[in-house]
Structure formats: C-alpha cells, structure tokens
C-alpha cells in the first residue's frame, strides 16, 4: 500500500500540462490577415517608392546645378552642367574633360524619366558671377527639367532663372503653396 505522500506525488505528476503557445488555427488566421493587409497596401507602397525616386532625382539635379553655380563663383571660371540619360549629370570646367562632380541615374532613381525645355538642350553654363552664359558649343541652355515616372503620381520640375537661381517645384501643387510652380 502507498503512503499518503507518495500517492499525492503521483497524482500531481498526472495532471495535464498547460500549453503556452499558439494553436495552428490561430497561427493560420494571423498569417491570412497579414497576407490580406500586405496585398491591399502593396500598390500604395509602389507609388510611394516611385514618388520618392522622382523626388530623389529632382533634388539631385537641383543640388548638381547649385554645385556647378557655386564652383563657377569659387573658381572664377565658366562651369558646365550637362544632363545625361534620365537623371544622370556631370559638372565640369568648360573645355575640360575633367569632371568636378557627377551622378548616375541608377543612384536611387533608376525608373525616373526627364524632359527638358527647350527639348534639344542638355547643357547649361554658369559664369564667375553665378549667372547663365552661352554654352561653349553655342547650343541652347535648358531652363526647365521635368521629372516623372510611369507609375509615379507626383512629377517635379526644376527651373533655372535668368540670373542663375535654381528652384524645385511641384506642377500639381495648389497655387499659393510653397511647392507650387
């Protein structure tokens, strides 16, 4: 016959153990809800990424133009800013093949396309006072760059004033706002 203590120990060991995890059903429901939320959010996320690439390209071109203008003033010589494919650009001394600065269109804005006014222009030249002068090859200087993408919803425009001032704006912004063109 078992004594009282041994009997209690045996009963205590046969009690069911409490589970502290997730059941398979709970896990499947959670994964299903997460999948549905991801599917709903994905198109908005893709548009957001495209708009971010457009802004990245516009800011890069604006910074490149400002760099060219500043270099022209600092070096007291004419400096050219040349647009490449899509949003790529280079800054260099007029008549020199040495680049002061450059950017590839694959640096954060690979899906962005640009259009320039006037259409055939690809170069702008800044003089030692930061103003715009005639290009060395006598080609037309551009005055406006419009950046967009196939799936983006927010095109941006970089404009260069006659005095050389550079501004980025949103052609779709409400007139009177700071970003409006």
DSSP output for 69-123: HHHHHHHTS-EEEEE-STT-EEEEETT---EEEEE-TTTT-TT-EEEEESTT--E
Which CATH architecture fits 24-169? 3-Layer(bab) Sandwich (3.55)
Compute how many other C-beta atoms are within 10 angstroms of the C-beta atom of residue 55: 19
168, 56 contact by CB (below 8 A) = no
Give every residue of the chain whose pLDDT is below 50, as ranges.
none
pLDDT value for 42: 83
pLDDT value for 144: 93
pLDDT value for 28: 92
pLDDT value for 86: 78
Cα–Cα distance, 130 to 155 (Å, whole number): 27
Cα–Cα distance, 171 to 181 (Å, whole number): 5
pLDDT value for 82: 92
pLDDT value for 16: 60
* pTM confidence score: 0.75
Structural tokens at position 140: 């037309």
């Amino acid at each position: 016959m078992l004594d009282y203590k041994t009997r209690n120990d045996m009963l205590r060991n046969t009690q069911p153990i409490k589970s502290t995890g997730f059941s398979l059903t709970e896990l499947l429901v959670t994964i299903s809800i997460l999948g549905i939320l991801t599917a709903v959010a994905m198109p908005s996320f893709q548009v957001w990424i495209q708009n971010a690439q457009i802004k990245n390209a516009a800011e890069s071109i604006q910074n490149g133009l400002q760099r060219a203008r500043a270099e022209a003033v600092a070096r007291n010589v004419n400096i050219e800013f040349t647009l490449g494919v899509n949003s790529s650009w280079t800054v260099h001394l007029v008549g020199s093949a040495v680049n002061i600065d450059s950017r590839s269109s694959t640096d954060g804005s690979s899906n962005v396309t640009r259009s320039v006014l006037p259409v055939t222009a690809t170069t702008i030249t800044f003089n030692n006072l930061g103003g715009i002068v005639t290009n060395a090859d006598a080609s037309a200087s551009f005055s406006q760059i419009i950046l967009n993408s196939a799936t983006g919803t927010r095109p941006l425009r970089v404009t260069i004033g006659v005095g050389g001032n550079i501004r980025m704006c949103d052609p779709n912004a409400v007139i009177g706002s700071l970003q409006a063109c």
